Chain A
């Protein structure tokens, strides 16, 4: 299932795949103007799988508390800022079928005393599947995800194992290490890296010496898994 690393991008096409967590973060922080600006300078597509659309539009649209946010995101789709995989001729049913398969593998990778631990769900898994399909077509892509579990599973599954063991105060978590390979090779960024790009290219309208700090912390406080130390490092990169 992992993206074929041996396949070099054969086209100029490029795609950023968004998970629910990062879109929600931009929306809750009122950063959709910056999001649109990023799309404007991006030579490619911003794509969300159907499973993510359900999480960030269809479900919250039924809940008064989040109806407004859902409407704002829906507008991004109407403006083609965000697009669905069908816009690239990718069959949704193919993604869904492969998502089930990969989710099953992920959710059988760590086991507790008696049963496997269900660690991820369909939205984030669909992002991995879409990334694989795009890589197979030679399309350069990256996944933007703010929540940490899927990122750790892809980049350092041993860290995820440590969290499970440490937080559950038990050593009785058994990893099926042979599954790790199915999640290797994906590339991840977060909303914080995207806002850094927006800031460094002058796309952020607000001008003040501490604006980058404020943006990064706003994203952190709305769910981006980034430490204070990492934020300080990003700020140093801006000065470099």
Chain B
């Protein structure tokens, strides 16, 4: 695990955000890990970004709003985040990976009827994080590989982000010149 101190801080703040049921803050925290992920491309960092983003979506569900069930679910999430922090502090990378996997499987189990929804949330979180990394200048193929998604998943999502297509750096040749290149090939 690279950038350990930074990730520890982010996980501690994730706990606070969960206590405050603050999904917006969770999204912000997830994005913070992306900066380092783009450089280091550490798969554990990326998994944490995906997990935190997924949590931000999942806690918005009505199941988390009910006083009794919701409290139980929140307590589970808080306990798991605490265990992740502990594993990270002790440099127990393998344990950390298992704990992160357990989030998903546990949520799929206790929210039985929502299994497809949870799977979808995690998949979309992967695509969202991938588009962020692509935004940072890493190629589409490399990004898709890092996140374990396909280029088909990434292409349509990334295409809808003006931060990518409208960024001033993207234009590296005039339109006229590029069209001419294409037309010349067809002469």
Q: Are A and B bound to each other?
A: yes
B residues within 8 A CB of A193? 178-179, 181-182
Does A85 count as interface, using CB distance less than 8 angstroms? no
In the complex, are the beta carbons of A149 and B181 less than 8 A apart?
Answer: no
Chain A nearest CB from B39 CB (Å) reads 4
A234 to B171, CA, bound (A): 13
In the complex, are the beta carbons of A196 and B38 less than 8 A apart?
Answer: no
Contact with A along B141-174 (1 / 0, CB 8 A): 1100100001110111011100011110111110
Tell me the number of A-to-B contacts counted with CB atoms below 8 Å: 171
Does A113 count as interface, using CB distance less than 8 angstroms? yes
In the complex, are the beta carbons of B138 and A152 less than 8 A apart?
Answer: no
Contact with B along A130-174 (1 / 0, CB 8 A): 000000000010100011111110011001101110111100000
Tell me the count of chain B residues lying within 8 A, CB to CB, of chain A.
42
- Which chain A residue lies CB-closest to B183? A197
Does B140 count as interface, using CB distance less than 8 angstroms? yes
Chain A nearest CB from B155 CB (Å) reads 3
Known contacts A60-B150, A168-B136, A227-B170, A190 near B178 by CB under 8 Å:
yes
Contact with B along A76-104 (1 / 0, CB 8 A): 00000000000000000000000000000
In the complex, are the beta carbons of A120 and B182 less than 8 A apart?
Answer: no
Interface residues of B (CB under 8 A from A): 35, 38-41, 134-142, 145, 150-152, 154-156, 158-160, 164-167, 169-173, 175-176, 178-179, 181-183, 185-186
